[in-house]
Amino acid sequence: MSESTHPRRATRSAVARRGYGWLFVVPALAAYLLFVIYPLILGIQYSLYKWNGVGASEFVGLKNYLRVFSDPDLLASIGNAFVLIAFFTIIPVSAGLFLATLIRSIKPGPFSSASQAILFLPQIIPLAAAGIAWSWMYAQTGAVNQLLRAVGLDAITRPWLGDFQTALPAVGLIGSWVLTGLCTVLFLTGISKIDGSLYEAVRLDGAGWFREFFTITIPGLRQEIAVLTTITIIAALSSFDIIYTTTLGGPGRSTLVPGISIYRIGFTQSDVGLASAFGIVLMILVLVCVLPIQRLSKESER
């Protein structure tokens, strides 16, 4: 209203107000620049040098990046990170989808809210604690082997985290344990948004559980699927806490992941340049995996 009566003054004050609005952004922007963007630039700079963190540094161009892609240990850790996507993303998201459809019929009440709380518990405890809990589950005398013996599978009992063949899947399943609950609860919320009459229509059409699942539930949950796939892929590629408290990358390099490699190279072997280069590579890897999902989910909205 004021704009029509005092056009010029209002415009000027609106501009001033909007410019003044930048003051509101300054603290957030300063924190972001100082502790995200500046270290990022610093990391790019380090990645071009050979430096042990203390002495003189030597410019080596892109050599550190070439080493990232030729060192068998580092290649193995990238490979392992992609294997972990199966356990951190594919298992939790698909299990979450099936669970959510199966339990959507359960009426709200103490049982359903208690189950939500329990499903959320792995999200509440630190990943490092999940690592400690599961190292004990997987130990030679632990619950997993105890269960196998009880059903007569003595032959396959072993220290699961100490075995070259089983260590990576064992660590991966810890991730599945942590993330499945989150996926289930988020999908349940998503399903509650889907118009119930859609389900009734497809049922009256004589559709079974499968057709209902693929024609109504999955399309209705596109947004949630995109969000959860993104979150869990980032969790898989940048896993650190669980591996650190269970295997530290061993045995051999069977559970080595980029986070652990960066930590080891940077702080144990003091090769700051190589560790920084690997950090940049990891960041790009995450972006390359995550951006297409974002784009796909945006396109399917149209």
Partner 1 sequence: MIVNRSEAIIGRVVLIVVLVLTLIPLLNMISAALQPADENPVGLSWPTDPQWGNFAEAFQTGHVVELMSSSALIVIGVVPLSLLFGTLAGYALGNLRIPGGRFLLIFLVLGLTIPFEALIIPLYYEMQGFGLLNTQWAVILPLIGLYMPFSVVWMRAHFVNVPRELSEAARVDGATTLQEFRRIQLPLAVPPLSALAILLFLWTWNQFLLPVVLISDPLKRTVAGSLTYFQGQYSSSIPLLNAGALIIIAPAIVVFLIFQRQFIKALLQGAVKG
Asked whether the CA dihedral 267, 271, 274, 277 is positive or negative, the reply is positive
Residue recorded with tokens 């979450």:
96
Residue 207 binding partner 1, by CB under 8 A: no
Contact 205, 272 (CB under 8 A): no
Binding mask 32-51 for partner 1 (x = CB under 8 A): xxxxxxxxx-xx--x-----
User: Minimum distance between the CB of residue 166 and partner 1, rounded to whole angstroms?
Assistant: 17
User: Minimum distance between the CB of residue 251 and partner 1, rounded to whole angstroms?
Assistant: 17
Residues numbered 58 to 87 that lie near partner 1 (CB under 8 A) are: none
Type of residue at 276: S
Residue 296 binding partner 1, by CB under 8 A: no
Residue 213 binding partner 1, by CB under 8 A: no
CA–CA separation, 217 vs 104, rounded Å? 11
Q: What SS3 class is residue 50?
A: strand
Contact 88, 235 (CB under 8 A): yes
The tokens describing 45, both together, are: 């700079």
Residue 145 binding partner 1, by CB under 8 A: yes
Q: Exactly one of 6, 12, 69, 121 binds partner 1 (CB under 8 A); which one?
A: 121
Q: Exactly one of 62, 156, 287, 296 binds partner 1 (CB under 8 A); which one?
A: 287
The tokens describing 197, both together, are: 């009459």
Which of 2/94 has CB closer to partner 1? 2
Residue 159 binding partner 1, by CB under 8 A: no
Binding region for partner 1 (CB under 8 A) out of 86-94, 100-108, 152-160, 161-169: 100-108
Q: Exactly one of 99, 167, 183, 228 binds partner 1 (CB under 8 A); which one?
A: 99
Residue 153 binding partner 1, by CB under 8 A: no
Binding region for partner 1 (CB under 8 A) out of 59-67, 72-80, 141-149, 157-165: 141-149
**Which DSSP category does 6 fall into?**
S
Residue 103 binding partner 1, by CB under 8 A: yes
Other C-beta atoms closer than 10 Å to the C-beta of 150 total 9
Pairing of strands 58-59, 49-50: antiparallel
Binding region for partner 1 (CB under 8 A) out of 71-79, 82-90, 95-103, 158-166: 95-103
Residues numbered 265 to 284 that lie near partner 1 (CB under 8 A) are: 266-267, 272, 275-276, 279-280, 282-283
Residue recorded with tokens 């130990």:
139
Q: Exactly one of 6, 25, 59, 66 binds partner 1 (CB under 8 A); which one?
A: 25
Continuous H helices in 156-256: 167-193, 196-204, 209-212, 218-220, 222-237, 241-246
Residues forming beta bridges with residue 58, ordered by sequence position: 50
Binding mask 235-264 for partner 1 (x = CB under 8 A): --xx-xx--xx------------xx--xx-
Length of the chain: 302
Give the contacts of 221 (CB within 8 A, at least 6 positions apart): 97, 187, 190, 191, 194
Site for partner 1 (CB under 8 A): how many residues? 101
